[in-house]
Amino acid sequence: MNMDNELREALRRKQAPADLADRVLARASEQSERRPAAGFDTGAATAAQPRTSRVVMRWLAAAAVLAVTAGGAERYYTQQRAAEAARVQEEIRIALQITSETLARVQSKLSEPAENGSR
């Protein structure tokens, strides 16, 4: 039950400090002086960064995009070459299999007359 009492005490209504309204109004006026009016951008948010720094960041971002694009293109072409090599390899395997079967039939036909002649 001690926990119930502590909770009740923590949630019990308390009187606000007498200077609370003055402090809230002072802080609100400070913040409104620092922020531009709604819909009016003075560039104050970006003024903290020097112009050269913003330009450098844009160039770095552009370079990063270019690097990622170039890397992606290189990977694509590498995969395409590997797929083409696999396709050619499979075609060669099939051609060699057909050649082997054909040679086996030819050899079989060539050895038939020898077998028939020995009879």
Q: So where are the chain's domains?
A: 2-117
The Cα–Cα gap between 66 and 61 comes to: 9
Of residues 106 and 115, which shows the higher confidence score? 106
DSSP string, 22-65: HHHHHHHHHHHHHSPPTT---SHHHHTS-HHHHHHHHHHHHHHH
Of residues 29 and 38, which shows the higher confidence score? 29
Q: What is the pLDDT of residue 52?
A: 83
Task: Give per-residue pLDDT as tens, 35-53.
Answer: 655 555 555 555 555 788 8
C-beta separation of 19 from 27 below 8 A:
no
Task: Give per-residue pLDDT as tens, 56-66.
Answer: 999 999 999 99
Instruction: Retrieve residue 40's tokens.
Output: 């009016």
What three-state secondary structure class fits 100? helix
Q: What is the pLDDT of residue 18?
A: 87
Task: Give per-residue pLDDT as tens, 2-23.
Answer: 888 888 888 888 888 889 888 8
What three-state secondary structure class fits 103? helix
Mean pLDDT over 85-104 rounds to 97
The Cα–Cα gap between 14 and 8 comes to: 12
The Cα–Cα gap between 107 and 94 comes to: 20
**Whole-prediction pTM:** 0.41
Give me the chain's average pLDDT, please: 84
Phi/psi region, residue 43 (left: phi>0; alpha: psi -120 to 50; beta: rest), is left
